[in-house]
Amino acid sequence: MKRIFTCVVCPNGCEIEAEYEGNRVLSVAGNLCPKGRDYVTQELVDPRRTIATSVRVTGGTMPLASVRLTKAIPKNRIFDAMREIGRITLEAPISIGDVVIPNLLGLGSDVIVTKNIPKA
């Protein structure tokens, strides 16, 4: 089979034309580095995505704080993860790097803050 994959490993976003059989990659074209082939293999075997979103903050100078995952999680768990993240409200002050949910859903990825929000 042939399919085009957009590599998300780095900002180049290479469009990779891959030929594969089941989970086995036969050939790739269009990738600027070897990580592209690894990405295609990962997509076939266990597609993963990361999340960057916001959570509510009380008592701070801003009502929302940006957060992200420390590691990509299985694509089919993204909605569960978003639901879990949506449940939390942080109390200011908060700092970049604060872990707000360790080991999200047991998937080995933490949710961390990416914005400083001082107390109002």
Sites of contact with ligand SF4 (CB under 6 A): 7, 9-10, 12-14, 31-33, 35-36, 39
- Token representation of residue 55: 């959570």
- In the complex, the smallest distance separating the C-beta of residue 49 from ligand SF4, rounded to whole angstroms, is 15
- In the complex, the smallest distance separating the C-beta of residue 115 from ligand SF4, rounded to whole angstroms, is 26
Q: How far apart are the first and last CA of the chain?
A: 57
CB nearer to ligand SF4: give 15 or 91: 15
Residue of minimal CB distance from ligand SF4?
Answer: 36
- In the complex, the smallest distance separating the C-beta of residue 119 from ligand SF4, rounded to whole angstroms, is 40
CB nearer to ligand SF4: give 31 or 109: 31
CB nearer to ligand SF4: give 38 or 84: 38
- In the complex, the smallest distance separating the C-beta of residue 59 from ligand SF4, rounded to whole angstroms, is 41
Max CA distance (Å), the chain: 57
Residues with Cβ within 8 Å of residue 33, at least 6 apart in sequence: none
Query: Would you say 23 and 45 are in contact if contact means Cβ atoms under 8 Å apart?
Result: yes
- How far apart are the C-alpha atoms of 109 and 102, rounded to whole Å? 7
Query: Would you say 57 and 63 are in contact if contact means Cβ atoms under 8 Å apart?
Result: yes
